[in-house]
Amino acid sequence: MKTIDKYVFQALDSYPYSLEETIESLDYAFSYDAKNTMVLCLYGRIQAEQLLNYEAAKNYFEEAFTINIHALEVYPYYIQTLILNEDYEEALRLIDFALTIKGINKADIYVKKAILFEVKHKFKKAMSEIRNAKLHSISYDSESEIRDVEKRIKGKIELVKKKSKKKSN
């Protein structure tokens, strides 16, 4: 195992519970290889998930893609960041491209597409993407996330139905 791998594993193991250790390990890994897409991805995640600095996060993800467009680990986090930053059209384009990449976890990408439609209040489309995610799921971890997102969307559909019933009364 390369030294950089050791530091990447330490960073992944520490995140998100010990941000100081995560950053320290990432900095060491980055000093060994500034073009490691896993390192850049985790830097981007920290910017998006912890610091809510979506533009900085996007820069890290884009840098990873300039190094390797097939950096599979980057897609779900970059898509989520685009959704949170309300860059919906860009997120949809990235989702559509990601679904063409061999080896990507399509279930995760379909879940992100469902979330995109959810935030746009297009719940029928969101549920259609949940169906696609279920069809492409090959692990229990994916199924759990799919169920959680599906439950949340169904709850929102019920809210909309209740609101429209109140208006008609």
Query: Which tens digit of pLDDT belongs to each residue from 11-59?
Result: 999 999 999 999 999 999 999 999 999 999 999 999 999 999 999 999 9
Query: Which tens digit of pLDDT belongs to each residue from 49-93?
Result: 999 999 999 999 999 999 999 999 999 999 999 999 999 999 999
For residue 69 the two structure tokens come to 């467009």
CA pair distance 73, 75, nearest whole angstrom: 6
| Helical H segments across 33-139, by residue range | 37-45, 54-67, 75-84, 88-98, 106-119, 123-136
Fill in the amino acid letter for 9.
F
The pLDDT-based confidence of 4 (bands split at 50, 70, 90) is: confident
- CATH code reported for the domain at 1-98: 1.25.40.10
Q: What's residue 169's pLDDT? A: 61
Query: Which tens digit of pLDDT belongs to each residue from 107-130?
Result: 999 999 999 999 999 999 999 999
Q: Which residues contact 160 (CB under 8 A, 6 or more apart)?
A: 121, 123
Q: What is the CA radius of gyration of the chain?
A: 18
Peptide bond into 16 cis (omega under 30): yes
For residue 18 the two structure tokens come to 């010990």
Query: Which tens digit of pLDDT belongs to each residue from 133-161?
Result: 999 999 888 899 999 999 999 999 999 88
**For the chain, first and last CA: distance in Å?**
68
Q: What's residue 142's pLDDT? A: 86
Question: 32 near 3, Cβ under 8 Å?
Answer: yes
CA pair distance 13, 100, nearest whole angstrom: 30
